Each structure stands twice: as C-alpha cells, then as structure tokens.
Amino acid sequence: MHCIRAANPYRPLRLENGAVMSQDDRQIQPDPPRRIRDFLVLTLGAIAVLSLLYVTGALGFVEWITGAIVMSTGALAFFVGSAPSRQRNNVNLEVGPESPALTEPSPNAVEPFVLALPLPALLITPDGLVATANVHARNLFRIDSSARPFPSEMLRQPDLLAAVERVAENGAEERVEFTQHGEAEVWMAHIRAGLEPGAVIMVFEDLTAVRRAERARADFLANASHELRTPLTAIGGFIETMRGPAKDDKDAWDGFLDIMGQQTERMKRLVADLLSLSRIEFSEHRHPKTQVDIVDLSRATSLALTPLAEDAGIKLHFEAPQSRVGVIADSDEIAQVIQNLTSNAIKYARKDGEVQILMGESPTMADAAAACSRQSPDAKRAVLLQPYASTEVPAVWVRVTDNGEGISEQHLPRLGERFYRVDESRGGQIEGTGLGLAIVKHIMARHRGGLAVESVEGSGTAFGIWMPRLPDDPIV
C-alpha cells in the first residue's frame, strides 16, 4: 500500500494489485470475530441482568422469558445490521485501475464548487495561475472574465502571497487577515490545498462589519464610561469638600447641593438614553405591526413640547395635512423621534427664534426624501440613514428646522454616531448626552425609514425623516 500525501488526506488508496480502496471503504472492512464477540457479549450480558432480576424477585418467570427473547432479538438485529456491504467492498477491492469510476478525482472537479460559493473564491493551479474565480472574486479584485492572472497581479499583499506559497508546498491550511481598498475593508483569506499537488483554494470572508462593530463597541464603552465618570467625579469632589473644608460652612452647602443635583440629573438622562438605545437596538430587526395616525401623533408631541419652547423664548410652529395619514409604526418610538429632533432644534435655535415642524405626503420614498431634506439650495447635506423600504412606495415625511448657527459640513456625516456632539460649532456649551440622534437613527431603521440633515452655517439646520405610509384607505 502506497503512502498518502499530507496535503490530500482523503485521496483514494490504490492497492498493490491495482484495486482502489477509499478512506470510507477502509473504515468499513468486515471484521467477523469482532462482530461475533459483540453479539455474544450483548446476549450473555442481557441474560445475566435478567437472571439477577429474577433471583431477587423483581421479575417473574414469564417476564424473564419475555425479556430474554426481546434482548436476544435485539442483539441478533445488531449482528445482522452491522454486516458490511459485500457488494461495495467487492467492487472497490476487485476492479482494476482502468475503472473510470474509481480513479482519482480530476482537479477540475472542484471548479463547479468554487463557482457556486456565495463568498469570493479562487482556484490556483500548480503553475501559479488563477484558473477559476467566481463572480464575487472577480468583482472584489476586478478580474476580467477571460483573464488567468498570477496571484501577485491581484493580491497585492505580501503576507497573503507568502501564505499561498506555503500552502502550495506543504498543504497545511492557513488563514490571513488583510485590508482591501486602503483601510476601508477588512477580509480574512482561508487558504487550503487543492486536489492536485501544488494547487491552492482560497475563500475570502468579509470582516469589515465585524471589525467596525468591535470598534464601535469599544468607542461606546469608552465614551459611556467617560460621560458617567465626569458627573461622578464632580459629585465626589463636592462631597469631599462638604465633609472637609466646608464642613461647618452651611451657607455654601446650598450651592454645592444644587450642582450635585444637576450632575445627578445628567447621569439620570444618560442612563435613560442608554437604556432606550439598548432597547431599540434589541428590537430593531422586528418591524412594528400597529397602524398609527402620524399626524395626530406628531401634533400631540409638538403640543407637549410647547412649554419647553416658551421657556427658551422660542416660537414653535407645526404644520401638517388636515387628513389622517396612516403608518405602520410604534407610536412611542415615533413620538420619541419627533421629540428628540424638536428638543434639539429648540436648544440650538436663536433667542426669540422659531422652530418649525413640517409634515407632508409624497407619492414615493424618493420624493419624500427630496421634500424633507432638499429645501435650501445653499445648504450642505448628508444622508445619515438610507431607508430599507423601496423607493417607489408611498411615503410620509417630517422636517424639523431651527434658525441657529448651523453646522459645518465636516461634522454632518457623523451626527448619527453615539456621543458625537458639535457644540463648538453650534453656539457653545449646551447640555446633552450625545445619544439623541443615534436613537432617532435606530428607530427609523426599525421603521424602514430614512434620516437626513442639511445645514447652512449662520442660518440654521434642518433634520428630515421619511418612512412608508399606508394607502389612502381609512385607518382600521
């Protein structure tokens, strides 16, 4: 019997007389002495157990006889059922090497599998050419459909090319992580030996989303710990002062307690926003199922915010269609979206200014996107969330506008990130957790809607949302 190459442990074995024996055939060769021994052990063991139960009185004579018959029948069934297929072994062990069905598989046999893989995949021949590349690999590496390039022409990664050479030489599987298109994409290459000596199969797994999620999680934890540490440090400092130097200065205690109360409220808002964001992210993949009149919902939300606007010296204006507009939505979450956008606009609007909440209907999602986020010709724009819904379905939109200082163009794309704030460009120190727009973004994603912003520095900012609406039939 010849030796097997380490790189191909599943190759068929060719016996000295020319017969072929596969890996599976070697494992099921008949072993009569072992089968007979197992049959006797099962039978005698069953009878011994039944006899013990009979002697102790647990079984009667009739039960003993019945049990012995059942156990013996089971052992006999095992003995017969474990017999190997003589036909299969005779075929594999008696035919000669001229049989086409038992010769070693052709190296080309792997090509259909490479082409059918849902991930980018390559087959590299022993002479170092890319023999097969599926459509995903051709799109990833921009390979012409008729080309047979060398790996070095498309894989401009020294570590990756070195791994390909090692696998071609020794057949040991390797994995290499690399970046593509600068640092924008992260991929994992799974490299293993092909069917013929020196051939290599490569499958590429996109890790970009995983790495981004890891970075986002790390940033989130760092930002959350920082945001919580700041008020806790302030409260701890005042407590230490009240216990030490100001222990007997009762007049200073009132000011200290006011500041501690403000910091406590800040932490409460942060924890509430964190819990809200966590809850929304947990249910983001489940679409709402409740029919809601978004006009009444938005009107009620704006009325609830009127006292906040009056305290800030801001005029709040609401305008919407007179008829009802039905949507499939979670009413609390949509109210939170309008509340977050409006409260932000009130914070950043000029003193004695105005905040507008405008609502309308559009025949398509594309028209709604234009209606709620493309009203100022001089504005800089950014789409913070592309909707999952079709661009052709009927839609409803909401636009919230303030007349504040506006936001510079460089900050616009990052406004939906957690804890990202632009106080330095929007009028100074304004309280907030930096989670409001992140919450809005995740809520709109759950509702298959979109989120966009446009701003003119010195003139104000407008945030727009749009989402699918129900047909014009009355709301059930």
171: domain CATH number? 3.30.450.20
Stronger pLDDT, 320 or 47, i.e. the higher one: 320
In a domain, 101, yes or no: no
For 142-190, write each residue's pLDDT tens digit.
Answer: 887 777 788 888 888 888 899 999 999 998 999 999 887 767 788 899 9
For 15-27, write each residue's pLDDT tens digit.
Answer: 444 444 444 444 4
In a domain, 119, yes or no: yes
For 317-334, write each residue's pLDDT tens digit.
Answer: 999 998 899 999 999 899
In a domain, 442, yes or no: yes
122: three-class secondary structure by DSSP: strand
| Domain identity same for 316 and 428 | yes
Whether residue 440 has pLDDT greater than 80: yes
Q: What pLDDT does 138 receive? A: 86
Residue 460 has a CB neighbour count (10 Å cut-off) of: 25
Domains identified in the chain, total number? 4
- Asked if residue 449 lies in contact with residue 466, where contact means CB atoms within 8 angstroms, the answer is yes
pLDDT mean over 245-253: 80
Q: What pLDDT does 20 receive? A: 44
Q: What pLDDT does 81 receive? A: 59
In a domain, 2, yes or no: no
Q: What pLDDT does 418 receive? A: 74
Q: What pLDDT does 101 receive? A: 42
CA distance 172 to 240: 63
Stronger pLDDT, 459 or 269, i.e. the higher one: 459
In a domain, 39, yes or no: yes
For tokens 């704006």, the residue is 302
pLDDT mean over 281-296: 83
Lowest mean per-residue pLDDT among 218-232, 335-349, 366-380: 218-232
For tokens 């921009």, the residue is 142
Its domain, for residue 152, covers 107-206
Give the CATH number, domain containing residue 248: 1.10.287.130
**Averaged pLDDT score across all residues of the chain:** 78
In a domain, 8, yes or no: no
For 114-155, write each residue's pLDDT tens digit.
Answer: 888 889 999 998 988 888 888 888 888 888 777 778 888 888
Residue 220 parent element (H or E): helix 208-243
Residue 406 has a CB neighbour count (10 Å cut-off) of: 22
Last residue of a domain, one of 282, 302, 334: 282
Q: What pLDDT does 430 receive? A: 59
Q: What pLDDT does 286 receive? A: 79
CA distance 78 to 156: 58
Whether residue 14 has pLDDT greater than 80: no
| Domain identity same for 418 and 317 | yes
